[in-house]
Amino acid sequence: MSRIKQFDLPDLGEGLTEGEILKWLVAVGDVIELNQPIVEVETAKAAVEIPAKWGGQVQAIFHAEGATVEVGTAIIAIDTDPQAGPAETGPQTDAAAGEKPSDERAVPPAGGAVEPGMIGGPAPGGRTAVLVGYGPRTTAAKRRPRRTNGHQPQPAAATPAPTAPVAVAKVDPKPLAKPPVRKLARDLGVDLAALPGSGPLGSITRDDVLQASRPEHAVTVGSADPSSAMESHARVAAAAAVGPARERRIPVKGVRKLTAENMVASAFSAPHVTEFLTVDLTRSMKVLDRLRGQPEWRELRISPLLLVAKAVLVALVRHPLVNSTWAGDEILVKEYVNLGIAAATGRGLIVPNIKDAGRLTTRQLAEAVAELVRTAKAGRTAPADMTGGTMTITNVGVFGVDSGTPILVPGESAILAVGAIRKAPWVHKDKIRVRQVATLALSFDHRIIDGELGSAFLRDVGDFLTDPEAMLLAWT
């Protein structure tokens, strides 16, 4: 068996079949340990770090950052015994090593022949070792046939040896370019094989294709005078007032793709109704100020979102049918609340949820909200934290927006949007005062929640935020 092993993109669960390589955490020549994170991959759920299946030295990296890779495709080659000197053979597929035919994947026997600590192998306590945030599969998974063509690796550092250098991977003559770039080249009649790539690892970019498609390209390519090429490029750019040269295509994938699918499914499957209520939050803001002054709260960052979440949880106790799911012939009422908090990230909108939020104290809820927001902003939300939600809050007020008509998260029957908190004239104790007010918008599934129930729930949330101290004393 070759000591140089190719590590395939693992099955990440949740029905996902591909992932985008966001960032390599190792480079060719690095010595790595078993289970050391080697690459950050974005799926349709979230960004996750994938650990190494073996320890050793990185010999080759097969895909650049930004590439979308199917599950089961080799992404890296690792020399598992670098101290033994130069390798005699390059990384082999199972078929080349004489272990399994190329169209099969090795399946661990029932007795558990996978090494302890490896993904899919036994772990302490009788568990199955899997990626963080993913559970072991309970059904047999169908695998795609292993690809037989090689991959384009990063060049490994030269190692002095008495013998000739050993190739670590078969070179793929196919030019390195993303599918949208390949399609653009076909549409414009550009031969990718004749283009030098300016992207990572020499990959061909959209700009490379567009430049090659311009009439001046035939003159500038191979010109000994770089300035003439730059002048031609400037003339073409100035002349292109409209058209493909001034358009940008953004691939729909990952979190954005899943969000789009979910929103379309929700909008056209559940009859939405939205109600609005403008409330006086002056007392809620004073409560937050008093909490911030308490010694045990000073280290914790809190916002009005904390009191909104508490108001929703208290109102759900009074109106449990709001916390339910339409299941065709029946309505499934949840006796627990997995409270979703919509979060805008660089990769799109995600909705992680706080598990069993109804059982948390106010302090625990504050800590959970702060951690949820912090993890989402860092792009580290685990897929398990974005499933199983029962009701959602979306805070559009952070963008300076007064209100909106939010779309239900699939499987939930209600979502509450919170608008910006602004100073405004308000009638308080029969006098016009400057108060801090905001507008709440509740969208709900009219199959489950009728107008009376939706209105009562929204009114109770508003009453709590108008005077949180009095409502806690009266309702709990």
- State the catalytic residues: 446
Q: Which SS3 state, helix, strand or coil, does residue 394 take?
A: strand
Of 410, 413, 177, nearest to 273 (Cα)? 413
Percentage helix, strand, coil, to 5, in the chain?
30, 20, 45
Contacts of 248 (CB under 8 A, 6+ apart): none
Strand 391-395 to 339-341 pairing: parallel
Cα end-to-end span (Å), the chain:
67
Pairwise CA distance, residues 184 & 210, whole Å: 8
Given its phi and psi angles, is residue 72 left (phi above 0), alpha (psi -120 to 50 degrees) or beta? left
Q: Which SS3 state, helix, strand or coil, does residue 439 take?
A: strand
Angle between helix 282-293 and 468-475 (nearest 10): 90
Please, is 431 exposed, middle or buried when counting C-beta atoms within 10 Å of its C-beta (0-12, 13-18, 19+)? Answer: exposed
H helix and E strand count, the chain: 10, 21
Cβ–Cβ < 8 Å for 14, 102: no
C-alpha dihedral, 263 to 439 to 277 to 456, nearest 10°:
60
Which stretches of 268-361 are DSSP H helices?
282-293, 304-318
Q: Which SS3 state, helix, strand or coil, does residue 17 take?
A: coil
Pairwise CA distance, residues 471 & 475, whole Å: 6
Cβ–Cβ < 8 Å for 130, 35: no
Q: How many CB atoms lie within 10 A of CB 162?
A: 6
Pairwise CA distance, residues 133 & 193, whole Å: 41
Of 203, 447, 450, 142, nearest to 325 (Cα)? 447
